[in-house]
Amino acid sequence: MTTVPGNAANNADIDSFYAWTRLGISLLLATIGGVGMWAVVVVLPAVQAEFGVDRAAASMPYTATMVGFAAGNVLVGRAIDRVGYWIPALGSSMALVAGFALASLSTSILQFTLAQGLLIGVGTSAIFGPLIADISHWFNRRRGVAVATAAAGSYLAGTVWPAIIPPLMKAEGWRFTYVAIGIACLVTMAPLVIMLRRRAPVAVAGSPGARPVQPISLSPAALQALLVIAGLGCCVAMSMPQVHIVAYCMDLGYGVAHGADMLSIMMAAGVVSRLVSGFVADRIGGVRTLLIGSVLQCLSLFFYIPFDGLASLYVVSLVFGLSQGGIVPCYAIIVREYMPAKEAGQRVGIVIMATIFGMAIGGWMSGWIYDLTGSYAAAFLNGIGWNILNLLAIGLLLWRARRSSMIAA
């Protein structure tokens, strides 16, 4: 048995009972902390009305949240490669709590945007890319399932929190709601993070179940660049329904509650999609699984254009969630398939940063296009165009991977 210096865990911990226990704790932590990504989506109409701004300006707090979230994924990802998961995660959790408190006190859209970006966005980052990178070290045989499960926490958050927030907003207002969310995060997240103090194991080459890095006829920099382009494209497209479905329902006269319900359905379907994609990736690989998800997402985006009835939107939101939920975890799986494990935190963080920038740019861009055109039809078409860019990058990646496999054979 080989022990890695400075680690409290060794190869025996991989695929162990503790690994599965840690995965359960990680999933719960991500479900709670994921509120940082979804609260601003639900309160967007109320914030827009209170501060008297247009749709593009009201979308800026979400964009700032995603920019902070993106930067945090890289910074926290690099930190966990060096010192382990729990210390960076604890600091991020406290930033999240402070962000909700300060956002509730904001007196302008600028103050609200800064609290969202600098504190809530950065604070939320520890429960996504860094958490996915950390859990990937604990599994070999079921790495795809484990990564997808950990990533599902953000979608579970998108299922649970949009259902909780509207009634609380209706009763007490969005400011009280933000304070309540901050308190809930404080009393739950810190104990859960402390339970994850054990350092990640490192698989010893040649040990049972260990996965070697797969060959690909691309340099690490070129592979990273392709994943960044693919991640940016898919998430600009993905952001259109996720960020604007509540506002879209408001414009159609269906109200906030129906929009929040559609978002919850979308995220619940996304959880199913993520779990299924994990099983698929363990069998056919991350690149092929990513291609399947991206094609289905592109097709489902088309359905939003002709179908805008209330019942139709519920169905299309379900289809969209089932289509796109498994996409983002595949990037982490691909990183672990083709890049060294010691670089996982940083490499996954960079790719996740690109996906988040895609969400941020797409969220703002859709609002901007709406302000220009007076409808969301052009915004959906814009998302489809970005999705096609994503498919081109994945197609090139698949071609290079297959070429390398043929040469190796």
Domain boundaries of the chain, sorted by first residue = 11-197+216-401
Residue 34's pLDDT band, with cuts at 50, 70 and 90, is very high
At 206 the pLDDT is 52
For residue 317, the one-letter residue type is S
Highest-pLDDT range among 43-47, 221-225, 246-250, 346-350:
221-225
Per DSSP, the chain holds a count of helices (H) and strands (E) of 16, 0
Return the pLDDT at 202. 67
* 112-134 pLDDT, tens digit each: 999 999 999 999 999 988 999 89
Question: pLDDT at residue 211 above 80?
Answer: no
pLDDT at 9 over 50: no
What average pLDDT does this structure show over 1-14? Answer: 52
pLDDT top residue among 16 and 407: 16
| Predicted pLDDT at 58 | 80
- Average the pLDDT over 163-189 and give the result: 94
Q: For 51-60, 78-87, 177-186, 222-231, which range has the lowest pLDDT when averaged over its residues?
A: 51-60
- The residue among 317 and 213 whose pLDDT is bigger is 317
Q: Which pLDDT does position 1 carry in this prediction?
A: 34
Chain segment 343-401, per-residue pLDDT in tens: 778 888 899 889 888 887 888 888 889 889 888 889 999 999 999 999 999 999 999 88
Average pLDDT over all residues of the chain: 87
**Whole-number pLDDT of residue 4:** 39
Please state, in angstroms and rounded to a whole number, the distance separating the CA atoms of residues 232 and 389. 9
How confident is the model at residue 53, as a pLDDT?
Answer: 84
Looking at domain 11-197+216-401, its CATH class is mainly alpha
Q: Average pLDDT of 242-260?
A: 85
Q: Which pLDDT band, with edges at 50, 70 and 90, does 409 fall under?
A: low
Name the pTM for this structure. 0.77
pLDDT tier for residue 102 given thresholds of 50, 70 and 90: very high
How large is the average pLDDT for residues 300-315?
90
What per-residue confidence (pLDDT) applies to 207? 54
Mean pLDDT of 33-49: 89
